[in-house]
A and B are shown apart, each in its own frame.
Chain A
Amino acid sequence: MRKKKINVAVTGLNNIDSPGPGIPVIRALKESKVFDVRIVGLSYEALEPGIYMHELVDKTYQIPLPSAGKASLMERLQYIHSVEKIDVIIPNFDAELFNFITLSDKLKKELNINVFVPTLAQFEDRHKANLSAYGKKHKIKVPYGKVIFSAASIPSLVSEFTYPMVVKGKFYDAYIAYNQEQAHTYFNKISAKWGLPIIIQEFVTGQEVNVTALGDGKGNTIGAVPMRKQYITDKGKAWSGISIEDENLMAMTKQLIKSTKWKGGMELEIIKTVKGDYYLLEINPRFPAWVYLAVGCGQNHPDALVQLALGKPVKPFKKYDIGKMFIRYSYDMIVSLKEFETISTLGEL
């Protein structure tokens, strides 16, 4: 059967030491059995490696940073679409998701571009500060947490928490406090950097496991592959990981996708305690950078996402290979100055 030609635009081309998911997603799409995919890269900086990886990325356009606003992004996408006729966009950065989510209807209506991303409610609900309520609502165990606005609330925390406890920022940063003094210090440290509120969380120990998954927006889990990191870099990113077998983990993932009717790719960060309890720590509302492991295990999630985006019915994957490993490596490309000049001055390459 001849494969259908489509154009997919992908962000997250920063395939550097702590990589974005763009290049792994593109590799997955290039292996699609259904589509003959032409890749349009969308980049924010002239040094994103994907721009120069011509065997994977057919053409790249610079797009405005999320902080420039939706109107700027829309205008740029209109231009790119006028040249490329894009069928699907896969955004891969957390920071850009708000704009793509809120633009998705407009992109479909005005340009017939399909974006298969979580709804705004799904995106907002899973924010860290809401995690306790989120767990309750979707019947998923999460570490007990409380949002505080003032360091004056710290002494009274002992009625609900025991030390050590985790002190977290709204967006980033987390520290383990072993006593009140430390809790104070971290409260001040994080609030000075990220503002209020601060999240106090029960300290849960155990083995961290991750799942990359895809929901069809109707409650069905199209695919899910769990992975344990075998080694991490000094930045805390996966250096290598291995696919594992875990029925409970799969059941939890399916329950979450069913309850939230999750639409799009996701990564779950979960702690498995010694007692065998699973606690959800975080949901990333997009594919992780290690998503290609799922392809290696027989589940091509990005390919399935594109099919869903184009309104095609997709049958859930039934199995995946267990014990498959990924090992990340870096690679120095040789790039001509002319190419750098072109992307820098013209905004496309």
Chain B
Amino acid sequence: MSTKKLQYERPIIQRLNTGVMNKFGTKTEYKPVTHIDGNSVKELLAKYGSPLFVISEQTIRDTYQSANRAFKNRYPKVQFAWSYKTNYMNAVCNVFHQLGSWAEVVSGFEYHKALQNGVPGSKIIFNGPDKSEEDLTLAIKNDSLLHIDHLDELYMIMEIANNSKKRPRVAIRVNMDTGIYPMWDRFGFNYENGQAWDAINKIMLNDKMDLVGLHSHIGTFMLAPSAYGIAAAKLSDLAMAVKKKFKKNIQYIDMGGGFASKNTLKGSYLQGVDTSPTFDQFAEAITTSILNAGFTETELPLLILETGRALIDDAGYLLGSVISNKRLADGRRATIMDFGVNILFTSFWYDHKISPAQEFGQHTEDSVLYGPLCMNIDVIRENITLPPLMRNDNVVVHSVGAYNMTQWMQFIALRPAIVLIDTNETAHLIRNRETLNSIQSDEVMPKYLKTFKL
């Protein structure tokens, strides 16, 4: 092939003046992203296969530091606990543990993961409605922090405590009206109707366990820092009431997570990167409430934060390739990618930012972006403006670090590899691409079904 030939671009034609968005100045949306932390997208894909998840350790560390700074500048005692469900790749968890985060888990499975990663039992927060008797017994033995979700759990802990020498360290999860919708009243004990105060009294009057903390987690992808201010005020109120009635200080207030990341929710008119509150705004709302609650300086409770999404989302990228272009019956352009909702679960609720991974001319076209599944729901973006992509061209999906590597489905296709790029820009494989065997190794075939004739 002659090298003197001009760069080809697919021919496109678009009707004007249909009231759609003009393309002038919108180039940032499709500015090519050819490298991630010094690693070429094409080379990463060639080495580890397409699609591929890539995690930037530098971004994790930078984001953590800015969150940590936002809270520590305003409050003397701050502790982060890594939310395992957000991303429990062990390498990712350990980056957070190296940064000083405890572990926050919501199942026996996650609890064991944290233990295996080497987190001391006393620095594991055990949340969630589903803790088995076995889980609780082990967690009590390890001196972990038990955040009680319902009365059945409280009674189970009392029973275990009766037969054990250990005093369980417990907190209750409190739900409340913070002026936002929906109100997560399915978890924990309600503040307004007195359930929470009731539960606190039951614990305080039981001499076999210690109430060490109060916990709330008001919602997910929260865009209103003021709601956290209200929640922190209500928890502080409970802590002060405990002090007044039982002469005992609550050691910590755990504000949970739910801080929005910079992603753009579907249906939102403005870009998430412009509207999502900063860590400073969340920190200001929370710490102001606690500092104004009336604690003396020595009694100020430790402030625990379990933020997951806002710490990891931006550090994750999904690299993928174009399988085909086609034209839909109504004339719209459709592009089929080699990744779909099976591995990019968050495309159900975000309009993910997607960049081409190679240089392009100035022309763009509107397209629907489909995944590779033979399923009608497999849509990555209902409408996106991109340069004309060709088969085997590559794209980079941004801000996919939260929930995708835990909620992904092994459905129809195998799941891709995950690579972590360290702070020296060296790529490390942290999860292998799945094989047929990784899926089938746990299957059992009854003997009589082993053979057949066709």
Contacts and interface: CB of A to CB of B under 8 A. Distances in A.
Touch test A–B (CB under 8 Å): yes
A291 B25 CA distance: 30
Interface in A58-73: 61-73
Contacts of B273: 69-71
A102 interface: yes
A149 interface: yes
Interface string A75-108: 1100100000000000000010011001000000
Nearest to B19: A45
A73 B25 contact: yes
B270 A66 contact: yes
A180 to B, nearest CB: 22
Given A69-B274, A102-B274, A45 B269 contact: no
A62 B22 contact: yes
Interface string A39-68: 000001111000000000000011111111
A61 B24 CA distance: 9
B17 A72 contact: no
Given A46-B16, A47-B17, A149-B182, A98 B270 contact: yes
A347 B25 contact: yes
B16 A68 contact: no
Interface string A166-210: 000000000000000000000000000001110000000000000
Interface in B267-294: 267, 269-271, 273-275
B28 interface: yes
Given A62-B22, A64-B25, A69-B274, A197 B181 contact: yes
A79 B22 contact: no
Contacts of B270: 66-67, 69, 98-99
A195 B181 CA distance: 11
B21 interface: yes
Interface string A138-166: 00000000000100000000000000000
B269 A64 contact: no
A64 B19 contact: no
B157 to A, nearest CB: 34
Contact of B269 (A72, A95, A149, A196): A95
A347 B22 contact: yes
B21 A65 contact: yes
Q: Which of B22, B24, B29, B275 has the most CB of A within 10 A?
A: B24
Task: Give the secondary structure class of B's interface.
Answer: loop
A344 interface: yes
Interface residues of A, number: 32
Given A75-B28, A98-B274, A68 B21 contact: yes
Contacts of A79: 25
Given A99-B270, A99-B274, A197-B181, A69 B19 contact: no
Q: Which of A62, A67, A197, A348 has the most CB of B within 10 A?
A: A67
Interface string A307-349: 0000000000000000000000000000000001000100110
A72 B27 contact: yes
A66 B25 CA distance: 11
Contacts of A73: 25
Given A46-B22, A64-B22, A66-B269, A344 B28 contact: no
Contacts of A196: 181
A296 to B, nearest CB: 33
Given A69-B271, A70-B271, A63 B21 contact: no
B275 A68 contact: no
A93 B38 CA distance: 41
A44 B23 CA distance: 10
Q: Which of B183, B271, B273 has the most CB of A within 10 A?
A: B271
Contacts of B28: 68-69, 71-72, 75
A168 B374 CA distance: 43
Contacts of A344: 16-17
Nearest to A77: B25
Contacts of A64: 21-22, 24-26
Nearest to A345: B16
A206 B269 CA distance: 35
Contacts of B24: 61-64, 76, 347-348
Interface string B182-199: 110000000000000000
A64 B271 CA distance: 13
Interface of A: 44-47, 61-73, 75-76, 79, 95, 98-99, 102, 149, 195-197, 340, 344, 347-348
